[in-house]
Amino acid sequence: MEAIILVGGFGTRLRPLTLATPKALLPLANVPMLERLVRSLPERVTKVALAVHHQADAIAAHFAAVDCERMVITVPEPEPLGTGGAMRNCRDHISGTTLVFNGDIISSLNVEAMLEQHRATGALGTLALWEVADPSRYGVAELDGNAIIGFQEKPAPGEEKSNLINAGTYLLEPQVLEMIPAGHKVSVEREIFTQLASAGLHGFPFGGYWIDAGTPESYLAANAMLLEREATAAHPGASVRGNALIAADAEITSSIVGPDTVIGTGVSLDKCVVRRSVLLAGASATGAVIEDCILGPGVAVGDDCSRMVLTAEGELRF
Ligand code: GTP
């Protein structure tokens, strides 16, 4: 089986981090999120086409340098074609039933179980669906059994047809890619899936975990969630509280690290307290209290910042 991963977006909600690093290469628990996704694919996925545009060269260079035990190619778009146009642009590079992912999602989706349902129903397309408590910020799928019979955008409280939102992972038959006009900007969610409702589109609700790591808050939440399984912090210079992950080459002295904190490679900290934060490669701080923050690569926090917090609007406050 072959897969398409959509990674051509600008990642505006994660600026300024995404000005220098494509969102797909931002690390989650110290592994670039796209590499994490490619490595997690079932063995049956032998080829992955990365639909790239923004910072395409950095993504291509990364996958040229790592071995993900399957063929990984990049398919560039001269202009961003939207989620549907990007898939169509990959058509000549893939064949058969295709697995499609948004590149900024981590989840416990069981692709094999989803494929089993896709085959059993004979669907043209199967969408992974994730249940949320409050769907008013999302589009929800209306189901009849497993068949998707409609979509509802941002339903008012109490009016929702379901609590199941599009989880950004699909199994699509080649006919679906054929429906997308070549070379045009097309949103697969708004322009193609809506046409397929009641006409061969099915849903696959799943449980476990699902996080779209596309905003500062959800990026921190995705890291914290992974730490529940991957925390291995131990460092002679750090007193660790709760879940934390510290890169082996980080230089830390007299500091408290954690909970829910990831310290990237080459980070240096002296006399700091770091909580619920992610410090990317080469960030440094002395005498600072850093809470609920993402420090970008190489960011140096001045001496004795008493408190540094990332606001809901994504601003750093001191
Ligand atoms: P924001 O600007 O913060 O909304 O982020 P984004 O640009 O990544 O957009 P969004 O999160 O809505 O995109 C969902 C997924 O589709 C991400 O993995 C994007 O990289 C990808 N994507 C969005 N638009 C395009 C596009 O025009 N071309 C390609 N190849 N991928 C896209």
Residue 271 designated active-site:
no
pTM: 0.91
List pLDDT tens digits, range 200-228.
999 999 999 999 999 999 999 999 999 99
Instruction: Quote the pLDDT of residue 68.
Output: 86
Q: Where are the domains of the chain?
A: 2-212, 231-317
Instruction: Quote the pLDDT of residue 307.
Output: 58
Expressed in percent and rounded to 5, the helix, strand and coil fractions of the chain are: 25, 35, 40
Query: Which of 149, 38, 146, 151 has the alpha carbon at shortest distance from 99?
Result: 38
d(CA 23, CA 13): 10
Cα angle: 220, vertex 226, 227; to 5 degrees: 90
Instruction: Quote the pLDDT of residue 308.
Output: 56
Instruction: Quote the pLDDT of residue 236.
Output: 86
* Ligand 1 midpoint to CA 162 (Å): 25
Quick one: tokens of 216?
A: 């500062």
Instruction: Quote the pLDDT of residue 127.
Output: 98
Instruction: Quote the pLDDT of residue 312.
Output: 58
Instruction: Quote the pLDDT of residue 153.
Output: 86
The one catalytic residue in 23, 47, 154, 271 is 154
In this structure, whether the domain defined by 2-212 belongs to CATH 3.40.50.720 is answered with: no
What dotted CATH number matches 231-317? 2.160.10
Which residue's alpha carbon is nearest to atom 22 within ligand 1? 9
Query: Which of 126, 101, 288, 124 has the alpha carbon at shortest distance from 199?
Result: 124
Query: Which of 167, 168, 134, 136 has the alpha carbon at shortest distance from 152?
Result: 136
Instruction: Quote the pLDDT of residue 154.
Output: 86
Which residue's alpha carbon is nearest to atom 15 within ligand 1? 102
List pLDDT tens digits, range 136-186.
888 899 999 999 999 998 889 889 999 999 999 999 999 999 999 998 999
Instruction: Quote the pLDDT of residue 231.
Output: 80
d(CA 97, CA 268): 47
Quick one: tokens of 255?
A: 């500091």
Residue ranges of the chain with pLDDT lower than 50?
none
